[in-house]
Structure 1
Amino acid sequence: MVEKKFTIESSQGLHARPASVLVNHVTNFEGDVMVHYNGQSINLKSIMGIMGLAISQGAEIKVTAEGEKEEEIMESLEDVLKEQELVKN
């Protein structure tokens, strides 16, 4: 299992549009990708679960990936977070 912490920089937080991009991205991978925030752990393949977390600007989240290509998943997920301007480079 690999894990990484991110601070959400977007003034709108993790809102619907980038959340759907993230969900669509990780759906292509085998394995488990989880977002941990405010004492909750949600599968990143669940748009409703992610939206339910109501992750706002300045929030620190932890993402974990477990599976055959977990390193690749985490690297590509970080790229998507940057492309969606949720985190800084």
Structure 2
Amino acid sequence: MVSKKVTVKNPTGLHLRPAGILCNEAMKYQSQITFVYDGGMANAKSVLSVLGACVKCGNEIELTCEGVDEQEALDHLVAAIDSGLGE
């Protein structure tokens, strides 16, 4: 299991489009991928779970990946979030 804290930089947070991009990226990996946010935990492979987290710009989340490709998944998801998830 690997994890890393990352700050969401999207001006509008994880609304539908960036949440979809995050989920699509997460679905590429076999590992279980979740993130902890202020108030709970979300499944990064579920758009509804990500949207339900109500993550805003500047919020810090802690991504956790567990499985055969965990390090690769974590590295790519952190890079995707750092790049703004398409925004």
TM-score (norm 1): 0.87
1:2 is aligned to 2
Distance in 1 (alpha carbons) for counterparts of 2:7 and 2:80: 14
Q: Which runs of 5+ in 2 are unaligned?
A: none
Structure 2 distance, partners of 1:76, 1:35, is: 14
Per-residue deviation, 1:8 = 1.4
| 2:31 and 2:73 in contact (8 A); partners too | no
> 1:1-89 maps to which residues of 2 (within 5 A)?
1-83=1-83, 85=84
Q: Deviations over 1:6-38 (max 9, x none)?
A: 111222111111110110111121120001111
Identity %: 34
Q: Please tell me the residue identity of whatever aligns with 1:11.
A: P
For the residue of structure 2 that corresponds to 1:76, the secondary structure is helix
Counterpart residue identity of residue 15, structure 2:
H
RMSD in angstroms over aligned alpha carbons? 1.2
1:2 maps to a residue whose letter is V
